[in-house]
Amino acid sequence: MRVLLFMVSLALVACGGASSPQSRAGSPPPIGVLITVEVTLRSEIEPNNNLAAADAHTMPTHGPNADYVGFGVVGTVNDTGDPADYFVFTASRAHVFTIQLCQPWIISNATATNSSCTPFDSSDAIDTSVAYFEILDQDGVLLLSSQGDTAAGNFQEISIDAGVAYYLAVFAEDTGGAAQGYQIETTEKVPLP
């Protein structure tokens, strides 16, 4: 499990006006408020090569230690032997989610000991010509794909409804026949000012 803490601070340069300490749903948190993001991280469980065998993941519970939540998976894909990994999850509230497909720093016994996925930076994403991800609805209908997306690449956002099963899939595009290690994180987007 990884917990990220962010202190929201912003220097106000404009003259006049006052800032209210309240925030509305979907708006940035008030200045000076500490927000937390909790991400559970674990290794993939094989076989998970199709929708029927999708590896199930649970989001942490919202509360005083988790304003925003998500899950991460460490795994490998291979364009010749293991071309796809599927995961299924359900969100506890409707929210915009950020999905990142990144290189894991260190893999020991198929578990990442650290992550190169950073919550606000897409520079560590795996190139979509090597591997990409898709989000599918509960019926397997494609909602989002990073395949061939050279602009956003493997760092994308999607609105997710609460209480509905979604599938997240990682695909090998061209790994040259070798295993491509990855870490994928699906996290509620933090509304920063």
Cα 151-164-132 angle, rounded to 5 deg: 25
Give alpha helix (H) positions in 104-144: none
Give the model confidence (pLDDT) of 30-54 as tens digits. 666 688 889 899 999 999 999 999 9
CB atoms within 10 A of CB 141: 8
* pLDDT, position 119: 65
Compute the chain's Rg from CA coordinates: 18
Is there a contact between 112 and 104 (Cβ–Cβ < 8 Å)?
yes
* pLDDT, position 5: 47
Is there a contact between 121 and 99 (Cβ–Cβ < 8 Å)?
no
Cα 106-110-116 angle, rounded to 5 deg: 35
Domains in the chain (CATH in brackets) are: 40-57+72-188 (2.60.120.380)
Above 50 in pLDDT, residue 20? no
Confidence of residue 12 (pLDDT cuts 50, 70, 90): very low
Give the model confidence (pLDDT) of 88-110 as tens digits. 999 999 999 999 999 886 545 55
* pLDDT, position 3: 52
Above 90 in pLDDT, residue 179? yes
Above 60 in pLDDT, residue 83? yes
Q: Which of 133, 129, 155, 130 is nearest to 142 (CA)?
A: 133
CA 100, CA 163: separation in Å to the nearest integer? 22
Q: Which of 45, 56, 60, 50 is nearest to 2 (CA)?
A: 60
Q: Which of 40, 107, 106, 36 is nearest to 73 (CA)?
A: 40
Above 90 in pLDDT, residue 23? no
Positive or negative torsion for Cα 146, 148, 154, 158: negative
* pLDDT, position 144: 98
CA 165, CA 188: separation in Å to the nearest integer? 16
Return the minimum-mean-pLDDT range out of 3-7, 28-32, 92-96, 181-185: 3-7
Is there a contact between 8 and 32 (Cβ–Cβ < 8 Å)?
yes
Give the model confidence (pLDDT) of 112-171 as tens digits. 445 557 766 667 899 999 999 999 999 999 999 999 999 999 999 999 999 999 999 999
Give the model confidence (pLDDT) of 138-151 as tens digits. 999 999 999 999 99
